[in-house]
């Protein structure tokens, strides 16, 4: 298969397997999604979904969050890891939303990336999942799978994102990034498949004999 043929096969395969992928992080609006995605850095979605309701029970909007102290936020979100950094980001971005954005999460990837604690991947997820604006959030998991499936030669997530955007139609970006994540978690895991074991890898590369090493 050519790279484009692989991309088309993967697109059809994943759309059949996961026809209606749900957003994995529990939230009720763009603000709570933004906070949940920020909490998910180096933390599982399952853990975030256990901890975020405890935070949102006392502060589910920028005003309420800004009334808490950083220490209070930190004490609640500690199980998610990186709590000092995350609590500082949550507290400060909440104040910025109040003072500069009328308490609303901006619908701009550039403005989102300007908020404390918000990187490109977090901003992309919010744009995609909160506002339905086409983006292709690429984390280390999607980066790993894109390399296993020879969809990219990118050495980092930024390069891989550019490659995937060129390969897949913009109308599929928002849904496909979730489908790739779900397949990776279920079948093509970091340790469970090295490019030689899962159904998709074997179908795409029946003659592959060597494990695929991910370029970080």
Active site residue 121: yes
Same structural domain for residues 81 and 160?
no
Same structural domain for residues 168 and 113?
no
Same structural domain for residues 87 and 67?
yes
Number of folded domains in the chain? 2
Res. 215 pLDDT band, cuts 50 70 90? confident
- CA–CA distance, 95 with 104 (Å, rounded to integer): 11
Q: Final residue of a domain: which of 131, 158, 192?
A: 131
Pair 188, 201: CB distance under 8 Å: yes
Mean predicted confidence (pLDDT) in 93-111: 98
> Between 45-56 and 30-39, two packed helices, what is the crossing angle to 10 degrees?
130
> Among residues 139, 163, 175, 194, which one is catalytic?
139
pLDDT of residue 213: 85
**0.85 exceeded by pTM:** yes
Active site residue 102: no
Give tens-digit pLDDT for 150-203: 999 988 999 999 999 999 999 999 999 999 999 999 999 999 999 999 999 999
pLDDT of residue 214: 80
Name which of 133, 151, 146, 145 is nearest 186 in CA terms: 145
Same structural domain for residues 114 and 200?
no
Res. 100 pLDDT band, cuts 50 70 90? very high
> Among residues 11, 86, 121, 175, which one is catalytic?
121
> What's the domain range around 70?
30-131
Mean predicted confidence (pLDDT) in 52-58: 98
Same structural domain for residues 34 and 112?
yes
**161: CATH:** 1.10.1670.10
pLDDT of residue 145: 96
**115: CATH:** 1.10.340.30
Confirm whether 210 is domain-assigned.
no
């Amino acid at each position: 298969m050519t790279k484009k043929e692989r991309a088309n096969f993967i697109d059809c395969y994943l759309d059949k397997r996961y026809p209606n992928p749900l957003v994995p992080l529990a939230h009720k609006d763009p603000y709570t999604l933004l906070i949940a995605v920020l909490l998910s850095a180096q933390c599982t979605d399952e853990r975030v979904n256990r901890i975020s309701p405890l935070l949102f029970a006392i502060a589910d909007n920028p005003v309420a969050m800004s009334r808490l102290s950083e220490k209070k936020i930190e004490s609640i979100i500690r199980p998610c890891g990186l709590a000092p950094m995350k609590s500082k980001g949550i507290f400060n971005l909440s104040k910025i939303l109040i003072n500069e954005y009328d308490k609303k999460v901006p619908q701009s990837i550039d403005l989102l990336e300007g908020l404390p604690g918000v990187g490109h991947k977090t901003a992309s997820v919010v744009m995609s999942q909160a506002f339905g604006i086409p983006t292709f959030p690429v984390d280390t998991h999607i980066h790993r799978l894109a390399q296993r499936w020879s969809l990219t030669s990118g050495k980092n997530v930024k390069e891989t994102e550019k490659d995937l955007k060129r390969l897949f139609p913009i109308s599929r970006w928002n849904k496909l990034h979730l489908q790739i994540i779900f397949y990776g978690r279920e079948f093509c895991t970091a340790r469970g498949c090295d490019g030689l074991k899962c159904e998709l890898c074997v179908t795409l590369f029946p003659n592959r004999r060597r494990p695929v090493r991910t370029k970080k």
